Structure 1
Amino acid sequence: MTIAIALKINDGIVLATDSASTIIGEEIEDGVRPVHHTYFTADKLFNLKKGSRIGAMTWGNGSINDESISTLVKDFRKGSEKKEYGTVEAIVDDFKSFLENKITPETSLGFLIAGYSNGEGHPEMFLIKINNGNIEDPMPINADDPLSISWFGETSFLTRLLLGFDERLFEIFEDNGVDSETINNIFSDCREKLQLPLGVPAMPIKDAIDLVRFLADISVNSSKFVPGAQVIGGPIDIAVITKHEGFKWIQRKHYYDKDLNLTTTMEDE
């Protein structure tokens, strides 16, 4: 499982992911497949093209055909070294084409790709969804919103906090005979009156980083203390994309000691 968070403000976009990678065991009964093991070192946040103002984060399947998503993203990055992309949408379309040649009928995952097009002063975000091997056309999200918080993966904890209700509420209403129109009206009312107003479009980047770190910590600690296997956890990776500074890591784990690998450059990572 994963928590992946994107916060867009006037001055840029902050991206964050946890590091949990869950291995699901064999089915035991009634379709139940228990968690076999959880690792806390997976990479889910990337600079999609070195030197660019474009980043990506992922959730869902951690691998395709025995290759990790991290390795596949680096394959794409390597293959696009000599390509020039004038817009975020152009690299999104190229990345989708790359994925189409890799995915299998079992693949289910998502990507958020965010950054700046050449000459543009405001960031853009695109969503790519793959469900059981079917890849959808990339969809721009929150294009007209100067402030937006988006979260993906295991969303229940942040949905409760930020929207004020549990995602299972719809099912509860249905089970109690409430008609769909009434349910939709209630949900619309809840979003309007219960949503927690965090942040403003003009907030500084440093405060946006603190807010995203806070939200990621809530998800990790909630998953840690609720009953069952912990499915969100490990180090939190955070990156910021701004108009002038481009893609910058704020905090990032490494499986190797950088002091013992002094020949490694940022371009190798």
Structure 2
Amino acid sequence: MTAIVAVLNKHAVAIAADSAVTMGDTHKVVNSANKIFTLSKYHPVAVMTYSSAAFMGVPWDIIIKEYRKELGKDSFDKLKDYVKDFITFLHKRHFFCDEQTQRDYLMLQLDSFVKSCREELSFQNGVAQEKQTEKDLRQKFVSYKKYLENSEKCTEFKKYTFADFKKYAYATIVEYSEKEKLNLSDDLCEAFFYYLSANIETSISTGLVFVGYGEKEIYPSLYPLNISLAVDKRLRYSYDKRSIVEISDRGCATSIIPFAQIDVTQTIVRGINPTFQDILYKVINNTASNVLKLIAEQLTKNDSTKVMAPVIQRLDTSPLTKQAIELIRQEMFSRYTEPLLQTVIGLDKEDMANMAESFISLTSLVRRMQPGEETVGGPVDVAVISKGDGFIWINRKHYFKPELNASFFQNYFRNEQYGKNSI
């Protein structure tokens, strides 16, 4: 797991990331991962990664550095143009893997989908189910299809039809069904298609957070992207639209955006732990229902009022509870979030870097005190990106001693394969 954060204002953007990574399906955690990369050697743009450290078996650091090499001295007017060009690059390099590897990862995602359906069936309505029949699984696939068919689709799957997918993947799904002894190929194929098409996170997805400046931008931007795999020459990716930040004069002037393990940062920014907030909202809903039930019980004790008891108990309390929840959110924002953001507006680069590092360090401390794996930890890498100074490392770990490897830094800009607009 991971914790990364970006702090933005008009001066710059400070980014920070921990170094912890879980090795495969084991419970072993090592603290040596790099999660912040410059996207260009010459321009103020960078990318942070979280969740899966590889794209269909290829480490993301290799892919990002290959893109940086091809980009050379080229640049784009806006940060979002770098994101589009990066996606084009993945297509151009055939997703860094062959067709068989893509099908293998499709099978891996299919297996993950079926297992998640089985897990949901095995514990329905808060009660463990001992047996699962093929009929139960078929109904689960049908319900998934109904739930997802009208949901927002991933960018490159909006014009991709079920007929197209079936032509490409049906043989793979039949192979999987035979191996698992399931006579559900058609239902599974349809449900899996809508699962792949929907704009939802999957078990093998990676978060890429692009941050920095385009040539014509004087304030920083942040564009988060979620990428999982390639299917039939289509890249399964989507933008996290809720987390896109564009600092401007008339719009957003500052922002604090955490990714991956976000609970500690959100607790500081919002003034309340997200888990406790959910509990509070649940208690409000339950209390409203219990009050109606209590009133109805009292009414039934009197012959003249018991006819009103069913009417009272059927009253819809959702508008009232929604209003109460919204009032709590507004109060928390005005008391905690807004004053903090007003402070961030005026921070200089050094203080922004310290703030970003502190969010990660506090998350690491909380994980260390909790039972279970320390999924956030190790050295904290910190960088600041500004329009005038470009990308500046504040803290950075090396797997080698910099003082013994002067040639690495001397060669950083040598033998660069410049882009098409370079001399």
TM-score (normalised: structure 1): 0.85
8 Å contact from structure 1 (residues 92, 138) kept in 2: no
The answer to whether the aligner puts 1:207 opposite 2:304 as a matched pair is no
- Tell me if 1:128 matches 2:225: yes
* Structure 1 residue 114 displacement after superposition: 1.3
SS of match in other structure, 1:197: helix
- CA offsets per residue over residues 220-266 of structure 1, 9 Å max, x none? 11111111110001111111111111111111011112233221124
Please, what is the CA RMSD of the aligned residues?
A: 2.6
CA shift for structure 1 position 5: 0.8
Aligned residues: 259
Q: Does 1:233 align with 2:377?
A: yes
User: Contact 2:42–2:73 at 8 Å: present in 1 too?
Assistant: no
1:153 matched to 2:260? The reply is: yes
> Do 1:88 and 1:116's aligned partners in 2 also have CA atoms closer than 8 Å?
yes
Shift of 1:64: 2.1
Find the residue that maps to 1:36 and give its secondary structure: coil
Q: Higher mean Cα deviation, 213-222 or 139-148?
A: 139-148
Q: Which residue of 79, 83, 90 maps to 1:92? A: 83
Q: CA deviation at 1:192?
A: 3.5
| Structure 2 contact 77–217 (Cα < 8 Å) conserved | no
1:57–1:113 contact (8 Å) kept in structure 2: yes
User: What residue number does 1:163 align with?
Assistant: 270
* Match of residue 32 from structure 1: none
1:30-60 deviation digits (Å, cap 9, x = unpaired): xxxxx51101000100111111111111111
**CA displacement 1:62-120 (0-9 Å, x = unmatched):** 11233222222112212222543232121111123345653855531212211112133
Change (3 A) 1:189 1:130: farther
Q: Hey, what does 2:332 align to over in structure 1?
A: 190
Please give the alpha-carbon distance, in whole angstroms, between the structure 2 residues aligned to 1:148 and 1:247.
19
Q: 1:239 to 1:169 in 2, by over 3 A?
A: same
CA distance in 1, matches of 2:239, 2:394: 31
1:141 to 228, 245, 249: 245
Summarize the alignment of residues 70-109 of structure 1 with structure 2, pairs less than 5 Å apart: 70-81=61-72, 83-99=74-90, 102=95, 105=109, 106-109=203-206
Secondary structure at the aligned position of 1:74 is classed as helix
Given residue 18 of structure 1, which amino acid in structure 2 is its aligned partner?
D
Counterpart of 1:247, as a letter, is F
Please identify the structure whose Cα radius of gyration is greater: 2
Aligned match for 1:113, one of 210, 233, 236: 210
1:219 counterpart residue number: 363
- Tell me which amino acid in the other structure corresponds to 2:3: I
- Unpaired runs of 5+ in structure 1? 26-34
The amino acid across from 1:166 in the alignment is N
Contact 2:75 2:214 in 1 (8 A): no
Match of 1:8 in 2: 8
Structure 1's 169 and 118: CA in aligned 2 closer, same or farther, altered over 3 A? same
Q: 1:169 to 1:24 in 2, by over 3 A?
A: farther
Residue number among 33, 36, 41 corresponding to 1:45 in the alignment: 36
Measure the CA separation in 1 of the matches of 2:349 and 2:245: 20
Q: Output the CA distance in 2 between the equivalents of 1:9 and 1:44.
A: 22
Offset at residue 157 of structure 1 (A): 1.5
Match of 1:59 in 2: 50
Partner of 1:22: 22
**Identity rate, percent:** 24
Q: In the aligned structure 2, how far is the partner of 1:189 from the partner of 1:142?
A: 25
What's the CA shift for 1:170? 5.6
* Partner residue in 2 for 1:29: none
Q: What is the identity, as a one-letter code, of the residue corresponding to 2:382?
A: I
Greater fraction of residues in strand: 1
Q: Identify if the C-alpha distance between structure 1 residues 122 and 177 changes in structure 2 by more than 3 Å, giving closer, same or farther.
A: closer
TM-score computed with the length of structure 2 as normaliser:
0.56
Q: Is the 8 A contact 1:53 1:242 kept in 2?
A: yes
For residue 204 of structure 1, report the CA deviation from its aligned partner. Answer: 1.4
CA distance in 2, matches of 1:123, 1:211: 17
**Aligned partner of 1:223: which letter?**
R
Find the aligned partners of 2:257 and 2:406 in 1 and give their Cα distance.
37
CA distance in 1, matches of 2:240, 2:84: 7
Moved more, 173-182 or 75-84: 173-182
Cross-structure match for 1:246:
390
Which has the larger helix fraction? 2
**Residue 213 of structure 1: SS of its match in structure 2?**
helix
